[in-house]
Structure formats: C-alpha cells, structure tokens
Amino acid sequence: MAKARIAVMVSGGGTNLQALIDAQISGIIKSGEIVLVISNSHTAFALERAKNAGIKTFSITKKECGSQQSFEKALIDELEKENIDLIILAGFLSILNKSFTDRFAKRIINIHPSLIPSFCGEGYYGLKVHEAALHKGVKVTGATVHYVNEIPDGGEIILQKAVYIRKNDTPETLQRRVMEQAEWKILPAAAEICSRKIIENKEI
Ligand code: GRF
C-alpha cells in the first residue's frame, strides 16, 4: 500500500521533528513517510535534522514574501508540488489563515504543550504555556495533538497525554518533561493514526 506523503512544518529546534524521524525509523510510523520539512526561518536547527535524515527542506520567511497571503501561497505551492497528504505542525510558530486551513481541512495536525482546552489559543506558545500552568497551580498538565482549523488550538482533539507537575518545577523543567513524556510520544502516534486513515480512504 502506498504511504501518505507527510510534510512537517517547523520554526525552531525541531525535537518533535526528530521524534517523528526516529518513529519512522523504528516503525511506529509505517503508513506515512516524511518527504518534506518546511521552515519559516532559514536558520532553524530543525532544518539540519531534516538534512541529516535525507529529507527535502524548504524555508521561507513571511518578511521576504511581503504579506501573509503571499507567504501562504508560497507554502501551498510547495505542498502541492510535493503532493502532500498530511501536514504536521511541529513547533511551527506562525498562525495560518482560514483560507490555508480550509484548503487542507482534516489534513493538518498540531502538537500543543498543554491539555487543551487549558492554556491554549492565541499567545500561548513555548514557555508561556508552562508559565501559565505553574502560575495557575494545576497539578496535571500534558500535551495535545489536534486537527488544525482557523481557530488557534481549536480543532478536533486526536490524542492527549497527561504529565504530573512536581513541586519544584520551573517552566523550563516542565517544558522538558512534557516533551519527553508526552509530545514525543503522542505526535508520532497521531501521525500514524492520520496517515493510516488517509491511505485507507484512498484505497476505497
Ligand atoms: C513544542 O513545545 C511544541 O509543543 C510547541 O513548540 C515546541 C517545539 O519544540 N508547539 P521543537 O522545535 O519540536 O523542539
């Protein structure tokens, strides 16, 4: 059976991308193949990870496109050129407009480092999410993989995993544990679930 063609979109270090690459090698992801990594920064370390794994990369900044619309057009052109079936946002820090998310409805997934609907939506990214969780004093946090629609962190939930907060946690220690215990596990698992769904529907 043909595999779903996956594009991973990144902005930074790319540890989630690495988890996806490793999951492909170990066979956790078997229904899809990462064929493209897109970055909105030319210097993201994630691009190195992609190159080391022999995956095609494409980077473009909003600034050099001049507008959100032409930025999204450039992304769409690249995704269509590569016949992408599934887009995985793995630490992609740019908001995508409704015209983009509608075009790939149920074909874009995102990892968010909290248990949605807590600590999510506009302004909740990176360490800010973990700062908010610690400030609120919740005892359990975690990560969520969800479909992407026009509402930031608002699409249907696919997988979640809980992580306990420790007494001496800082935003940094919590961020690391949420990644290790939750993000790096549920993102590859969700990638496999969605890839399998896509190829099964193609067969019908
Ligand atoms: C992760 O915490 C992810 O949940 C969030 O951005 C961070 C990306 O980290 N959306 P990395 O680039 O995958 O290391």
User: What tens digit of pLDDT does each residue of 9-31 get?
Assistant: 999 999 999 999 999 999 999 99
DSSP class of residue 67?
S
What would the pLDDT profile of 45-93 be if each residue is shown by its tens digit? 999 999 999 999 999 999 999 999 999 999 999 999 999 999 999 999 9
Rounded Cα distance, 76 and 71, in Å: 9
pLDDT of residue 95: 87
Q: Report the CATH architecture of 4-203.
A: 3-Layer(aba) Sandwich (3.40)
102 Cα to the center of ligand 1, angstroms: 24
Locate tokens 């740019």: which residue? 94
CB 131, CB 120: distance < 8 Å: no
For the chain, give every domain's residue range.
4-203
pLDDT score, position 1 = 76
Q: For residue 124, give the amino acid letter.
A: Y
- The percent of residues in the chain predicted with pLDDT above 90, rounded, is 97
The C-alpha atoms of residue 58 and residue 50 are separated, in whole angstroms, by 10
Distance (angstroms) between ligand 1 centre and the Cα of 175 equals 9
Query: b or e along 105-132 (b: 16 or more beta carbons within 10 Å of the residue's beta carbon)?
Result: eebbbbbbbbbbebbbeeebbeeebbbb
Bigger pLDDT: 179 vs 95 = 179
Substitution candidate for ligand 1 out of 38, 179, 185 with most atoms within 8 A of CB: 179
CA-based nearest residue to 103, from 82, 122, 84 = 84
Using DSSP, state whether 59 is helix, strand or coil: strand
For the cut 60, the answer to whether the pLDDT of residue 129 exceeds it is yes
* 202 C-alpha to ligand 1 centroid (Å): 31
Atom number, ligand 1, closest to the C-alpha of residue 18 = 13
Catalytic residues: 112
Q: Which residues 6+ apart lie within 8 Å of 37 measured at CB?
A: 7, 8, 9, 10, 17, 46, 47, 49, 50, 55, 56, 57, 58
Alpha carbon 84 to chain centroid distance? 15
> What percent of the chain has pLDDT above 70?
99
Q: What is the pLDDT of residues 150-159, one digit of tens each?
A: 999 999 999 9
